[in-house]
Amino acid sequence: MNNKEKLNNPKSDYWKSVFAITWKDLSSELRSRELLSSMLVFSLLVIVIYYFTLELDIKTRSAITAGALWVTFSFSGTLGLNRSMAIEKDRGCLDGLLLAPVDRSVIYFGKALSNLAFMLIVEIIVIPAYAMMYNINLFIPGFLFVTLLGSIGYIAVGTLLSAMSIQTRTRDVLLPILLFPLLIPVLIAAVKASNGFLLSLTWTEIMPWLNILFVYDVIFISVSFMVFDSIVEE
């Protein structure tokens, strides 16, 4: 592609920059294994604790599965978000990214995609482990789709707030305080929709919760796109 074509194709350059940041995070994690290992160990420990402390019958297990999994995902995700931005700050990479001649939203989408990838990797391991331990079929397309939608909403908000809290000395405490109140709609909707698929409820009962997830994702991705530049400048 010549220079004239590059100038006429700004969208291509935008997403190349986004994927470059994402690839930087993924390749760095492949070398260090700091982030994924902590998220994965935490998640597996939580479901093991559930297994040995909650001696439940099969029917009750099915009823609490969605709640137990989303509690696990939300806490391990918060751990990952904190570490992801802390690594950038401590290594001085964040200043370099801010000085790069690209739109600041590129940084947001690049970090969001890498954070989403880390969370999905954890979920890919935790869901089969939970299914085997509790003898519950979790490989239901609708349940997995809800997990993806909920994860996108979680990361959309979490990436924005982690960028906000990283500048403070109490970032490890501040992020959960800011994050969890905003996550209440997506967590409730994800748990209700997941339960709907696990308990084979009708589409009429499930669709309102799926609609909430869709709307939540669209709104917070849009808001994050608009305000991220102002947040990282502070």
**111: its two tokens:** 């970090």
Predicted confidence (pLDDT) per residue in 155-180, tens digit: 999 999 988 887 777 777 888 888 99
Q: Given the structure tokens 């989303």, which residue do they identify?
A: 70
Sequence letter at residue 178: L
- Residue 5 pLDDT > 60: no
Q: Which of 151, 152, 173 is nearest to 162 (CA)?
A: 173
The DSSP secondary structure of 181-226, one letter per residue, reads: HHHHHHHHHHHHHHHHHHTT--HHHHHHHHHHHHHHHHHHHHHHHH
Percent of the chain with pLDDT over 90: 41
Neighbours of 31 (CB within 10 A): 7
pLDDT tens, position by position, 144-157: 999 999 999 999 99
pLDDT (tens digit, 9 = 90+) per residue, 56-102?
Answer: 666 777 778 899 999 999 999 988 888 777 777 766 676 667 676 67
- Interacting residues of 66 by C-beta distance below 8 A, sequence separation 6+: 190, 191, 192, 194, 195, 198
Helix axes 58-90, 171-198, angle to 10 degrees: 150
Taking CA 127 as the corner, what is the angle to CA 200 and CA 55, rounded to the nearest 5 degrees?
Answer: 80
How crowded is residue 109: how many other Cβ atoms within 10 Å of its Cβ? Answer: 22
d(CA 183, CA 227): 18
